[in-house]
Structure formats: C-alpha cells, structure tokens
Structure 1
Amino acid sequence: MSERWLPQTDHEHAVMRVLTSIRSMSDAMERMHSGMKGDMDMNATDVAALRLLIIREQQGRAVSPHDIARHLRISTASTTKLLDRLEGSGHVRRQPHPTDRRGRVVVLTDESRQAFFRIFGVRLRAMREMALTYDERELELIERFLDDLGRAMDPPA
C-alpha cells in the first residue's frame, strides 16, 4: 500500500486541486447515474450497459454481447443474464450481426433510447451549455486531459 501523498510545491498543490475536482465530478456522475437507476428501474450494471450502447450508437459502432462483457468486466454467463433482463424489460434487442452471419449485436429499443434522453436530457443540455463557455483550445486541452486520465485509470490488462 502506498503512503498518502502530500503536495509540497505550488504545482503539486494545483494537481491536488484538480484531483479533488475530479472526485467531486465523479460523485456528481454517480448521483446522476443512481437517479437513472431509480427512474428506469434498473441496477448499476444495466445502466452501464445502456450507456455503452448509447455511446457506441452515436459513434456508429455495433455492440456485441462480448463487447458488453469486456466493457463491464463480467462473465459471458452474467452478460447473457443481463441481456435477457434488458430484453425482457424492453430496453434492448439482440439481432444478427450485419456482416458476420455467426455473430449477434445488441441494439437499444426506441423506447429505451427515448427514456434515456428524457431522463438525462436536462443534465446533458446543462453539460453542453457549460462546455460551450470554453474556447476550442481549452476544449482540446480538456479533452486530452480527460482521455489521458481515462487511460491512467484503466490501464491495459
């Protein structure tokens, strides 16, 4: 176990303030996702799977059950149970992969997509409006920082 880090220099104190802000943002994200769990009658893993589907859909990328298992770090058996539950509640459909006859993809239902944006729409709009107050250079720096931070938090296996 590592010792507690105590900043010494002005730069290290600035780093500590950034890390404290990240913790505050993480707490706010957790509260936002907890609200969605209650609003959509889902558990945390269900919500995380829907978020993955929304993001990949916006990127134009298909999602396989294996992608979901890897993203959530759960077994294929757990993924099957999760998809059975989400399909049974009308949130997703499993359908043939568009280019691989043997594969399947998971897609959101229109109802689930609408519920997601109805619940998150106000928050997403507020986040977008806040981001619009920054100029392009600042946004590029923020994007680079967040991408680097994500990689640091989730190193390759």
Structure 2
Amino acid sequence: MSERWQPQTEHEHAVMRVLTSIRAVSDAMERMHSGMRGDMDMNATDVAALRLLIIRERNGRPVSPRDIARHLRISTASTTKLLDRLVVSGHVERRPHPSDRRARVVVLTDPARETFFRVFGDRLRAMRSMAMGYDEAELAVVARFLDDLSHAMDPDD
C-alpha cells in the first residue's frame, strides 16, 4: 500500500494546489451536470451523449453510434437502447452518414440543442466570461495543461 503523498518543495506544493483545484472543478462540473439531468429529465448517460454530440457538432465531426459507445464505454446493445430512448424523447435523430451511405450518424434535434443551451447557457456564459480575464499566452498554457491532463487520465480517449 502506498503512503499518502506529502509535498515537500514549493513546486510540489504548487502541484498539490493545482490537483486540489482540479478536484474542485470536477465537483462543480458534477453538480452542474446533475442539475442539467434534473432540468432535462435525463439520466447521466443520456446527458453525456448529448454533451458529446454538442462538442463534436461544434468541431464539425459527425458522430456514429459506435463513437457514442466508445466514448461512454458501453456496449452496442446499450447504445442502441440509449439512442432509441433519445429518439423517442425527441433529443436526437439517426440520419444517413454524409459520405458513407452504409453508415448512420446521430445528430441533435433543434429543440434538444435549444434546451441544452437554455439549461447550460448561463453557466457557459459565466465560464466564458471568467476565461476572458486571461491573456492568450495564459490560455494556451491552461489548454495545453488540460489536454495533457485529459490524456493522462484517459489515454484511450
């Protein structure tokens, strides 16, 4: 069994402060997502699927059912049930893939996108406003750190 890490140097204390801040952000994100689940009357997996669709849509990347299964780490059968539920609730549609007629993509419906941004909008504006207080060089360091951290936490994603 490993002992609890105790920072010794100023650099190690700075690392501990960052890790403590990450935990606080993670807790705040969980509370935000929990509130969203309640506001949209959805479970955590459904909301995670919608977040993936929003992010990929912003990047112009289509999302296949397989992408959702991989992202959520659920089986293809569970993904089918999830998508069926989201289609019935009017949150997503299955459409033909734009370049592969054998494949299908999953897209948000306009009402789901509007609801997502209505529920999340104030929080997104607050986060954007906070980030505007940093200059480009600082933001580049933060983005690199968060990308590296994401990879360290989930190297397969």
Length-normalised TM-score, structure 1: 0.98
Instruction: Tell me which residue corresponds to 1:103.
Output: 103
What do you get for the CA RMSD once the two structures are aligned? 1.0
Instruction: Tell me which residue corresponds to 2:11.
Output: 11
The code of the aligned residue for 1:128 comes to: R
Gaps of at least 5 residues in structure 2 are none
Deviations 1:58-113 (A, max 9, x none): 00110000000000000000000000000010000001111111100000000000
Structure 1 range deviating more: 106-115 or 93-102? 93-102
How far off its partner does 1:156 sit? 2.8
Moved beyond 6 Å, runs of 4+: none
Instruction: Say whether 1:54 aligns with 2:54.
Output: yes
The correspondence of residues 74-113 of structure 1 with structure 2, limited to 5 A, is 74-113=74-113
Provide the aligned length of Structure 1 versus Structure 2: 157
Give distance in 2, aligned partners of 1:38 and 1:11. 41
How far off its partner does 1:3 sit? 2.7
The code of the aligned residue for 2:24 comes to: S
Give distance in 2, aligned partners of 1:61 and 1:26. 26
The code of the aligned residue for 2:84 comes to: D
Instruction: Tell me which residue corresponds to 1:34.
Output: 34
How far off its partner does 1:8 sit? 1.0
Give distance in 1, aligned partners of 2:107 and 2:32. 23
How far off its partner does 1:153 sit? 0.4
Percent identity for Structure 1 against Structure 2: 79
Give the 3-state SS of the residue equivalent to 1:48 in structure 2: helix
Give distance in 1, aligned partners of 2:147 and 2:124. 19
Instruction: Say whether 1:146 aligns with 2:152.
Output: no
